[in-house]
Chains A and B, each alone.
Chain A
Amino acid sequence: MTVNAGVPGRPPAGRDTIGITLMTSADTEAAVAMIREEQPDARISFRGVTYKIESDDVLVFDMARLGERLGRPIDTDLFLVNMSTYYGRMEVSDDLVRIHSDIRPERFQ
């Protein structure tokens, strides 16, 4: 959904779309492949130097499964080295990076 910002007095609509932008890298290529398989509804666009991955619900990056694809261990710290930006509500926990569409996910209540 595109926000029609140019309309004076438009009612706030609130999009559910959230996303992450990852710099082009070997780690990112594996993450993109993982999302394509595990979250087929996610939309992925390649911007030359980055990939933008978007969803209308939640994006989940599991480090254990990502490491299996890469053939080497990876944790949230190293994964986040590849992240350039995101939008939505970020939550970093044990070996998981999640981005929520909810404006106030459970952890923040």
Chain B
Amino acid sequence: MTKKKSLVEVHEKSKSYDWDYPEPDPKYPSRFIIPKTGKDPFRMLVRDYVRMEEEKDARTYGFLDGALRMQVAEKTEPRFMEALKLTLPDLTNAEFQAVAGVGMIARGIGNQELRQGYYAQMLDEVRHTQLEMSLRRYYVEHAPDPAGWDIAQKALYQHPGGHVSLALFQNFNTGDVIDAVINLNVVVETAYTNILLVATPETAVANGDHALATTFLSIQSDEARHMANGYGTLFAVLQDESNVPLINEALERHFWHSHRGLDALVGWQSEYGAVHRPWVYKDQWQEWVADDFIGSYVDKLTEFGVEPPTRLAKVAQDVSWIHHSTALALAAIWPLNFWRSDVMGPADLEWFDRHYPGWAQVYGPFWAGHAAMADPSSGRLMLQELPSLPPFCQVCQLPCIMPRPDLSEIRVFEHGGRSIAVCSEGCDWIFHRWPQAYEGRKSFWAKYHGWDLADVILDLGYVRPDGRTLIGQPSVSLETLWTIDDIRRIGFEIKDPLAG
């Protein structure tokens, strides 16, 4: 019988098979000094990678067969399924941006061992995109209301919620490779993906969706190697002291922006996209971000000059509120959504106020109004009750009502001949530090300034096959659905709040 070769010995030998790229210039210049040394915690070899991933896929796709037999999609809480119509394409955008991003990173890292880890990661990101598309195919074929699943990726890119995703994840493949590593591998994958891909499966199962739980947990098992890529790269660049201020600046930028984009989305999905809530979002943030990421990782890097983000305390405070404000905004614009929103009932209101003291006073009146206007016979929209539409932040693209509508930290200033809004001091710092990265993005409200809401919905294509019934609805329980005629009768005009 052939003795199995030692992983350590084979891995050491494989590192000697190195090569120089014919075109050493990376796509974007890097300010970092990137040493040629580095260690891969997983000692990843192709032979092992293929075997491991094949087993993962067998188990995950095998479970989708089981989900068909158990009629999982048909039994999932409608509220949970509807919120996924935004969350899943948002995540798929992240995976797809990461495919290109990791390819860019691998080109820019001169260390063979680390490059191996990044090549595996690139394959992983392709796998994740495909897993999510397979899951979405399952939903579009078996969810009781598939409207929105069929157009989800294109719909995402047109939607204000999708702009949050684009703003956050495009940084993966645009700019300095080490900055991209700190963004993707260190902040997003080590800190934030755990709440979405590990904790949210528990919520999924509580709401009947075992298919999502199985898929997400398998995706995260690859993310674990990505975290290791980030660790290996971080320690490579820490060998040169001149990199330390750059590392701290990147950590500061991406921790703040990731908080905005991901705490808002994942908090919304897990609390407003759920009927049964096994946990409280702020507690999950405490566990996975504050305790595990900051306490057990970033705090321990201080001996090397790395500093925890200076805005950590502000993030900890805002985590209690920004997803509630996001939920309010997404429900207010329900006609513009490609999924059905839902009414929050007495049990929901009680849960929110119990876990977030003060919630009822700030958000209760909105949800009462939303419920009162849910039926088309009301002839009213909550949009009409707002004094004006809130601008979207030029950096993170969240509506400028953060962290709470009554405590908004909006700043408006002139830049390049137009008015720009940002939601916070953190986004203000990011914009002025890297204006070229953010100044070009156009506003959703600006695009549709002066349009009738009905025409916006038609332009977006968010109507069902009959050409009249809206995909977006204010409740998952309506007997009579809103149509484009109901919206036309209201005659609501979009007014860009930043228009002169």
Chain A residues closer than 8 Å to B303, beta-carbon distance: 103
**B384 located at the interface, meaning its Cβ lies under 8 Å from any Cβ of chain A in the complex:** no
**B223 located at the interface, meaning its Cβ lies under 8 Å from any Cβ of chain A in the complex:** yes
A3-B290, A86-B224 known; A14+B55 contact, CB < 8 A? no
In Å, the complex CA distance between A94 and B10 comes to 10
Contact in complex: A108, B235 (CB < 8 Å): yes
Contact in complex: A87, B313 (CB < 8 Å): no
Interface residues in B263-321 (C-beta closer than 8 Å to A): 278, 286, 289-303, 307-308, 312-317
A5-B315, A7-B313, A12-B302 known; A92+B198 contact, CB < 8 A? no
Which one, B223, B300, B317, contacts A103 given CB within 8 A? B300
In Å, the complex CA distance between A80 and B197 comes to 16
Chain B residues closer than 8 Å to A33, beta-carbon distance: none
In Å, the complex CA distance between A8 and B193 comes to 25
Contact in complex: B291, A3 (CB < 8 Å): yes
A6-B313, A17-B296, A23-B217 known; A90+B224 contact, CB < 8 A? yes
- Chain B positions 314 through 347: 1 when the CB is less than 8 Å from some CB of chain A, otherwise 0: 1111000000000000000000000000000000
Q: Which of B35-43, B92-100, B363-371 contacts A (4 or more CB under 8 A)?
A: B35-43
Interface residues in B117-147 (C-beta closer than 8 Å to A): none
Q: Name the interface size band of chain B.
A: 35 or more
Contact in complex: B41, A92 (CB < 8 Å): yes
- Chain B positions 164 through 198: 1 when the CB is less than 8 Å from some CB of chain A, otherwise 0: 00000000000000000000000000100110011
Contact in complex: B7, A94 (CB < 8 Å): yes
Contact in complex: A93, B217 (CB < 8 Å): no
Q: What's the tally of chain A residues with a CB closer than 8 Å to chain B?
A: 46
In Å, the complex CA distance between A85 and B48 comes to 18
Contact in complex: A10, B198 (CB < 8 Å): no
Contact in complex: B197, A84 (CB < 8 Å): yes
* Closest-CB distance, A109 to chain B (whole angstroms): 9
Contact in complex: B294, A49 (CB < 8 Å): no
Chain B residues closer than 8 Å to A91, beta-carbon distance: 41
The interface residues of chain B, by DSSP majority, are classed as helix
**A78 located at the interface, meaning its Cβ lies under 8 Å from any Cβ of chain B in the complex:** yes
Chain B CB within 10 A, most for which of A1, A7, A12, A23 = A12
In Å, the complex CA distance between A78 and B56 comes to 9
Contact in complex: B300, A19 (CB < 8 Å): no
Which one, B59, B224, B286, B298, contacts A84 given CB within 8 A? B224
Contact in complex: B295, A49 (CB < 8 Å): no
Residue of B nearest to A17 (CB): B296
A2-B286, A90-B42 known; A17+B224 contact, CB < 8 A? no
Contact in complex: A1, B202 (CB < 8 Å): no
Residue of A nearest to B38 (CB): A108
Contact in complex: B299, A15 (CB < 8 Å): yes
- Chain A positions 40 through 77: 1 when the CB is less than 8 Å from some CB of chain B, otherwise 0: 00000001111000000000000000000000000011
**B477 located at the interface, meaning its Cβ lies under 8 Å from any Cβ of chain A in the complex:** no
**B408 located at the interface, meaning its Cβ lies under 8 Å from any Cβ of chain A in the complex:** no
- Chain B positions 211 through 238: 1 when the CB is less than 8 Å from some CB of chain A, otherwise 0: 0010001101101100110011001000
Contact in complex: B290, A94 (CB < 8 Å): no
Chain B residues closer than 8 Å to A10, beta-carbon distance: 313
In Å, the complex CA distance between A83 and B224 comes to 8
**B499 located at the interface, meaning its Cβ lies under 8 Å from any Cβ of chain A in the complex:** no
Which one, A19, A48, A78, A84, contacts B205 given CB within 8 A? A48
Contact in complex: B7, A93 (CB < 8 Å): yes
Which one, A3, A16, A21, A49, contacts B213 given CB within 8 A? A49
In Å, the complex CA distance between A91 and B41 comes to 5
Known A8-B313, A23-B221, A49-B217; further 11 A-B contacts with Cβ < 8 A: A3-B290, A3-B294, A12-B299, A15-B299, A78-B55, A80-B52, A81-B55, A85-B198, A86-B227, A87-B190, A92-B42
Q: List 21 A-B contacts (CB under 8 A).
A: A2-B295, A3-B286, A3-B291, A5-B286, A7-B313, A10-B313, A12-B298, A15-B291, A17-B296, A18-B296, A47-B199, A77-B55, A83-B224, A84-B220, A84-B221, A85-B223, A87-B292, A90-B224, A93-B7, A101-B296, A104-B235
**Closest 4 pairs between A and B when the two form their complex, measured CB to CB:** A15-B295, A12-B299, A6-B316, A103-B300
Which residues of A are at the interface with B, using a C-beta cutoff of 8 A? 1-3, 5-10, 12-19, 21, 23, 47-50, 76-78, 80-94, 101, 103-104, 107-108
